[in-house]
Amino acid sequence: MALPGLAGSGLSSRGPLDEAEAAAEEHEAPAVVAAGALPQDDEEDEGRGRGLLRWDGFSAWLHCVCVVGFDLELGQAVEVIYPQHSKLTDKEKTNICYLSFPDSNSGCLGDTQFCFRFRQSSGRRVSLHCLLDQFDKDLPVYLKKDPAYFYGYVYFRQVRDKTLKRGYFQKSLVLISKLPYIHFFHTVLKQIAPEYFEKSEPYLEAACNDVDRWPAPVPGKTLHLPIMGVVMKVRIPTCHDKPGTTQIVQLTQQADTHISVILPTVHEVDLFRCFCPVFLHSQMLWELVLLGEPLVVMAPSPSESSETVLALVNCISPLKYFSDFRPYFTIHDSEFKEYTTRTQAPPSVILGVTNPFFAKTLQHWPHIIRIGDLKPAGEIPKQVKVKKLKNLKTLDSKPGVYTSYKPYLNRDEEIIKQLQKGVQQKRPSEAQSVILRRYFLELTQSFIIPLERYVASLMPLQKSISPWKSPPQLRQFLPEEFMKTLEKTGPQLTSRIKGDWIGLYRHFLKSPNFDGWFKTRRKEMTQKLEALHLEALCEEDLLLWTQKHTEVETVDLVLKLKNKLLQADREHLPVKPDTMEKLRTHIDAIILALPEDLQGILLKTGMT
């Protein structure tokens, strides 16, 4: 069972408070050990350049692969970073070290998989792979990468080994990526980690070479991804997919003899397994996540904490959760002080924790979910109750949702009956998850449709777009004007749930999720106006216009049109395919009508 300090950080002789203080003050940091037959940092620049070109395919999926081991004298240590040119700051390495091992109180013997998320160091240049930028625009908003964060996908092994001084073998294989494809990367690790622990570095190098040969992660395409003798078949969703559907199922009607693993999803977790202990309160938790309330998940192990946090973030899909969330958070995290301070209100963040010390440190947080061991599929744990926060003293407190929050909406008894019936009939967890996901989707859509309808009304009429004036501005979002629309076109049109919907909307309009959602919609609508403006310009006889204006005005027009083309390309404006070509033709025709000396200058300026 749990071995004090074995999965810790080498600070096992201290109490939790000492550990917290040491972490917060950064008195101790894990070492970065140069290990394996990997080249040193002073590798020649020329070779490094060739390596970077070679690893383009790999970089589209992963930032790097790390191996974190336990050193008796140094504690947790990064033993290998692969490919060797991968850049990680010391702060990022420190975070990876501590987040890659379960807390010492978690009894994680054998193999454990979990996920963490950490902030990219502010001191480093934000480097985004050009391919990812290109494909990001076609992804659903909740799958777009966040340039400020990395994900870490962990396969941790702890087994008895008498040949080692400590008596235990402890190691984690960690995939670091910008992509939030949780289910996909956990499946990749299942394929390669057990073999890696037996065969070491050459096997890891071969696996990374396989990843480097993968096609780019293009949304909407069925991808065949070979890795160490296994072929995975996946499809990354697009923003054009109907929410709640998986396209890959329809693509697998005929048998593929060479396919070993078919993934129906790249990012979803087992929703019902995570919500199972709290499904009586699932609607209240949906409200808390929707409103961006500070939320802590206290769990016995990182796999349970990370799965539950990810399930919570996922429950408001297709809305994106715009605040920070940490599937697994430790006392050594670089944001520990920031998130546990009592000098200000708790931030809008969801934390997954396992260390008992957090029961004391986060006592002032308004909403805490304490879960026990997640049961295997088919078993149902005793349903937890909503309890007062003052009853939460330690992590050993009974499972429960500790909050004084009063939900705005009445509880939907239908979904509870449906899920309870499924448990009695031993319905598979996957089928229960489908029911729960559809319920959350319908709830979120009922909530967001009135907002979408109102925001669409802020768009100026197309007839107000003139090619010779700047595109018109969107009308301002007026909360009270929006509230008035709810009487006739509110969520009651699509949802059977009763309650204080108006109160829920008022609270939501002050939340980070509304702020993020509205900024995204405003950007999309502004780009649509720019695209319509471009199309209006293309319909004009620009050559005729130039004949009535001076050379200076004509040159000014050419430069403005070129800027429009650059903007359309840079911002991926939603223009019709032939619009750009038409505009280029217009520009060329105008330039050719000008004197030769001006033609030469303008043809060299920008793109045509």
Question: Could you report the per-residue pLDDT of 8-48, keeping only the tens digit for each?
Answer: 333 333 333 333 333 333 333 344 443 333 333 333 333 33
Residue 557: pLDDT over 70: yes
Q: What is the pLDDT of residues 333-346, one digit of tens each?
A: 888 988 988 888 89
H or E element in which residue 512 lies:
helix 512-538
206 and 315 belong to one structural domain? no
Query: Is residue 96 in a domain?
Result: yes
Domain containing residue 414: CATH number: 3.40.50.11500
Task: Name which of 251, 194, 193 is nearest 220 in CA terms.
Answer: 251
322 and 424 belong to one structural domain? yes
Query: Is residue 14 in a domain?
Result: no
99 and 199 belong to one structural domain? yes
Compute the residue count for the chain.
608
Return the half-sphere exposure (C-beta side, CA atoms, 13 A cut-off) of residue 336.
24
Contact 456, 254 (CB under 8 A): no
Which of 216, 238, 253 is where one domain is finished? Answer: 216
Farthest CA pair distance, the chain: 91
Query: Is residue 529 in a domain?
Result: no
Query: Is residue 530 in a domain?
Result: no
Query: Is residue 155 in a domain?
Result: yes
Phi, psi values for residue 522, rounded to 5°: -65, -40
426 and 291 belong to one structural domain? yes
Domain boundaries, position 147 = 56-216
434 and 546 belong to one structural domain? no
506 and 551 belong to one structural domain? no
Query: pLDDT band at 3, cuts 50/70/90?
Result: very low
CA dist 109 and 170 (Å) reads 10
Query: Is residue 165 in a domain?
Result: yes
Q: Which residue has the higher pLDDT, 575 or 520?
A: 520
Residue 477: pLDDT over 90: yes
183 and 78 belong to one structural domain? yes
Task: Name which of 416, 410, 407 is nearest 435 in CA terms.
Answer: 416
Domain count, the chain: 3
Distances (CA, A) of 511 to 234, 365, 456, 478: 35, 17, 21, 16
Contact 474, 460 (CB under 8 A): yes
Locate all alpha helices (DSSP H) within 213-291, ordered by sequence: 271-275, 282-290
368 and 441 belong to one structural domain? yes
501 and 551 belong to one structural domain? no
CA dist 353 and 350 (Å) reads 10
Query: Is residue 77 in a domain?
Result: yes
Q: Which residue has the higher pLDDT, 104 or 441?
A: 441
Query: Is residue 239 in a domain?
Result: no
546 and 506 belong to one structural domain? no
Q: What is the mean pLDDT of the chain?
A: 82
Which of 169, 194, 216 is where one domain is finished? Answer: 216
Q: What is the DSSP string of 85-148?
A: T----HHHHHHHHHHTS--TTS---EEEEEEEEEEPPTTS-----HHHHHHHTTS-GGGS--TT
Query: pLDDT band at 250, cuts 50/70/90?
Result: very low
338 and 436 belong to one structural domain? yes
Q: What is the mean pLDDT of residues 442-448?
A: 96
